[in-house]
Structure 1
Amino acid sequence: MQFSVCLVWLVTAVVAVRTQSTQGILDLVKRRLPDHVDIFEFRLTGNETFPISTAIRDINDEYTISSTPEGKILVEGNSAIALASGLHRYLADTVHVDIFWFIGSRLDTEPSNLPPLDQPISGSSIVPWRYHFNTVTFSYTSAFWTWEDWELELDWLALRGVNLPLAWVGQEKILVEAFRELGFNDAEINTYLSGPAFQAWNRFGNIQGSWGGDLPMEWIDDQFELQKNITKRMVDLGMTPVLPCFTGFIPMAITRVLPNATVVNGSAWNGFSTQYTNVTFLEPVDPAFEKLQISFISKQAEALGNITHFYTLDQYNENDPFSNSTDYLSGVSNNTMKSLKVADPDAIWLMQGWLFYSSSTFWTGPNVEAYLGGVSDNSDMLVLDLYSESQPQWNNARVKSYYGKPWIWCQLHDYGGNMGLYGQILNVTINPIEALANASSGSLVGFGLTMEGQEGNEIMYDLLLDQAWSESPIDTEAYFYNWVTRRYSGNGPIPSDLYTAWDMMRTTVYNNTNVTTQAVSKSVFELSPNITAILGRTGHHATAVTYDPSTLTDAWHLMYSATTSNPSLWDNPAFQYDMVDVTRQVFSNNFNVVYSSLISAYKYPSGSTNSTIATLSQNLTSLLSTLDSVLLTNPSFSLSTWINAARSQTDNTTLQSFYEYNARNQITLWGPNGEINDYASKSWGGLVSGYYIPRWEIFGQYLTEVPFVNYNATVLSKRLLDFEEGWQNGTSVQKVGVQENLKSILGDIM
Structure 2
Amino acid sequence: MARLAALFALLAGLPAALAVANVTGIYGIVERRMPQHARDFVFTSMEGDGDVFVVSDTVNKTGSITVTCTTTSACARGLYTYATEFGGVDIFWTGSRLHELPSPLPKVGTPINGSAIVQYRYHFNTVTFGYTTAFWTFDKWSLLLDWLALRGVNMPLAWDGYEAILTEVFQEFGLSDAEIFEFYTAPPFQPWNRFGNVQTAWGGLLPMQWISDQQALQKQILPRMLELGMTPILPAFTGFVPSNMSAHYPNASIIDGSAWSGFPSTLTNVSFLEPFDPLYPQMQQSFITKQQEAYGNITHFYTLDQYNENNPFSGNDSYLSSVSTSTIASLRAADPEATWVMQGWLFFSSETFWTNDRIEAYLGGAQGNDSMLILDLYSEAQPQWNRTDSYFGKQWVWCELHDYGGNMGLEGNLAAITEGPIAALNSNGSSMVGMGLTMEGMEIGNEIVYDILLDQAWSSTPLNVSDWVAKWAARRYLVKTLPTELQQAWTILSTTIYNNQDPNSQATIKSILELEPATTGLVNVTGHHPTEIPYDTNTTILHALQLFVNASKSQPSLKQVPEFAVDILELSRQLMVNRFIDLYTDLINTWNSSSSTAQNVTTAGVPLLSLISDLDVLLYTNENYLFSTWIADAKQWAHGNVSYAAYLEYQARNQQTLWGPQGNINDYASKQTAGLVGEYYATRWQTFVVMLAEQKTSGQPYNATEVSQTMLSIGQAFDLKAWGAAAGETWGTKGDTFQVVDRVLERWA
- For residue 696 of structure 1, what is the amino acid of its counterpart? W
Aligned partner (choices 49, 72, 82) of residue 74 of structure 2: 82
- Partner of 1:619 in structure 2? 607
Q: Secondary structure at the match of 2:505?
A: coil
Q: Deviations over 1:613-664 (max 9, x none)?
A: 1112111110110110000111211100101100111221111111111110
- Partner of 1:332 in structure 2? 323
Does residue 61 of the first structure (1) align with residue 51 of the second (2)? yes
Q: Secondary structure at the match of 1:500?
A: helix
Aligned partner (choices 162, 167, 170) of residue 158 of structure 2: 167
Q: CA deviation at 1:15?
A: 13
Q: Secondary structure at the match of 1:440?
A: coil
Aligned residues of 1:231 and 1:241 also touching (Cα < 8 A)? yes
- Partner of 1:559 in structure 2? 548
Does residue 640 of the first structure (1) align with residue 628 of the second (2)? yes
Q: CA deviation at 1:582?
A: 1.2
Q: Secondary structure at the match of 2:664?
A: coil
- For residue 674 of structure 2, what is the amino acid of its counterpart? G
Aligned partner (choices 415, 421, 425) of residue 432 of structure 1: 421
In the superposition, relative to structure 1, how do residues 272 and 15 fare at CA in structure 2: closer, same or farther (>3 Å)?
farther
Aligned residues of 2:239 and 2:275 also touching (Cα < 8 A)? yes
- For residue 466 of structure 1, what is the amino acid of its counterpart? D
Aligned residues of 2:20 and 2:70 also touching (Cα < 8 A)? no
- For residue 512 of structure 2, what is the amino acid of its counterpart? V
- Partner of 2:40 in structure 1? 39
Q: Distance in 2 between matches of 1:495 and 1:317?
A: 47
Deviant stretches of 4+, over 6 Å: 13-17
Does residue 405 of the first structure (1) align with residue 394 of the second (2)? yes
- For residue 745 of structure 1, what is the amino acid of its counterpart? V
Q: Distance in 2 between matches of 1:14 and 1:715?
A: 71
Q: Distance in 1 between matches of 2:449 and 2:50?
A: 23
Aligned residues of 2:470 and 2:482 also touching (Cα < 8 A)? no
Q: Secondary structure at the match of 2:415?
A: coil
Where structure 2 has 5 or more consecutive residues not aligned to the other structure, the ranges are 1-11
Q: Distance in 2 between matches of 1:478 and 1:460?
A: 15
Aligned partner (choices 243, 256, 265) of residue 247 of structure 2: 256
- Partner of 2:8 in structure 1? none
Q: CA deviation at 1:540?
A: 2.6
Q: Distance in 1 between matches of 2:13 and 2:285?
A: 18
Q: Distance in 1 between matches of 2:358 and 2:602?
A: 56
Q: CA deviation at 1:709?
A: 7.4
In the TM superposition, 1:137-156 aligns within 5 A as 137-156=128-147
Aligned residues of 2:20 and 2:72 also touching (Cα < 8 A)? no
Q: Distance in 1 between matches of 2:704 and 2:258?
A: 30
- Partner of 2:29 in structure 1? 28
Q: Deviations over 1:476-531 (max 9, x none)?
A: 101110111111117x8642212211221001111001132121111110000011
Q: Distance in 1 between matches of 2:561 and 2:450?
A: 22
Q: Distance in 1 between matches of 2:605 and 2:100?
A: 46
Q: Distance in 2 between matches of 1:422 and 1:568?
A: 28
In the TM superposition, 1:77-116 aligns within 5 A as 77-101=69-93, 103-116=94-107
Q: Secondary structure at the match of 2:528?
A: helix
Q: Distance in 2 between matches of 1:15 and 1:356?
A: 43
Q: Distance in 2 between matches of 1:15 and 1:190?
A: 45
Q: Secondary structure at the match of 2:22?
A: coil
Task: Give TM-score scaled by structure 1 length.
Answer: 0.94
Q: CA deviation at 1:590?
A: 0.6
- For residue 740 of structure 1, what is the amino acid of its counterpart? G
Q: Distance in 1 between matches of 2:456 and 2:674?
A: 35
Q: Secondary structure at the match of 1:448?
A: strand
- Partner of 1:10 in structure 2? none
In the superposition, relative to structure 1, how do residues 265 and 14 fare at CA in structure 2: closer, same or farther (>3 Å)?
farther
Aligned residues of 2:20 and 2:71 also touching (Cα < 8 A)? no
Count of residues in Structure 1 that have an aligned counterpart in Structure 2:
721
Q: Secondary structure at the match of 1:416?
A: helix
Q: Distance in 1 between matches of 2:665 and 2:530?
A: 14
Q: Deviations over 1:359-405 (max 9, x none)?
A: 11111122111110110111111100110000000111xx2211110
Q: Secondary structure at the match of 1:612?
A: helix
Q: Distance in 2 between matches of 1:244 and 1:16?
A: 30
Q: Percent identical across equivalent pairs?
A: 49
- Partner of 1:54 in structure 2? none
- Partner of 2:3 in structure 1? none
Aligned residues of 1:25 and 1:83 also touching (Cα < 8 A)? yes
Q: Distance in 2 between matches of 1:682 and 1:693?
A: 13
Structure 1, 660-669 or 740-749: larger mean CA deviation = 740-749
In the TM superposition, 1:439-478 aligns within 5 A as 439-441=428-430, 443-456=431-444, 457-478=446-467
- For residue 447 of structure 2, what is the amino acid of its counterpart? E
- Partner of 1:379 in structure 2? 370
In the TM superposition, 1:171-570 aligns within 5 A as 171-396=162-387, 399-441=388-430, 443-456=431-444, 457-489=446-478, 494-550=482-538, 551-570=540-559
Q: Distance in 2 between matches of 1:284 and 1:493?
A: 59
Q: CA deviation at 1:612?
A: 2.0
- Partner of 1:702 in structure 2? 691
Q: CA deviation at 1:165?
A: 0.5
Q: Distance in 2 between matches of 1:649 and 1:495?
A: 44
Q: Deviations over 1:305-324 (max 9, x none)?
A: 11110000000010111111
Q: CA deviation at 1:93?
A: 1.1
Aligned residues of 2:238 and 2:304 also touching (Cα < 8 A)? yes
Q: CA deviation at 1:724?
A: 1.3
- Partner of 1:3 in structure 2? none
Q: Distance in 1 between matches of 2:271 and 2:744?
A: 55
Q: Distance in 2 between matches of 1:94 and 1:299?
A: 46
- Partner of 1:55 in structure 2? none
Q: CA deviation at 1:440?
A: 3.1
- Partner of 1:582 in structure 2? 571
- Partner of 1:669 in structure 2? 658
Where structure 1 has 5 or more consecutive residues not aligned to the other structure, the ranges are 1-12, 48-58
Does residue 747 of the first structure (1) align with residue 742 of the second (2)? yes
Aligned residues of 1:383 and 1:408 also touching (Cα < 8 A)? yes
- For residue 25 of structure 1, what is the amino acid of its counterpart? I
- Partner of 2:65 in structure 1? 73
Aligned residues of 2:120 and 2:433 also touching (Cα < 8 A)? yes
Q: Distance in 2 between matches of 1:114 and 1:612?
A: 66
- For residue 170 of structure 2, what is the amino acid of its counterpart? F
- Partner of 1:736 in structure 2? 731
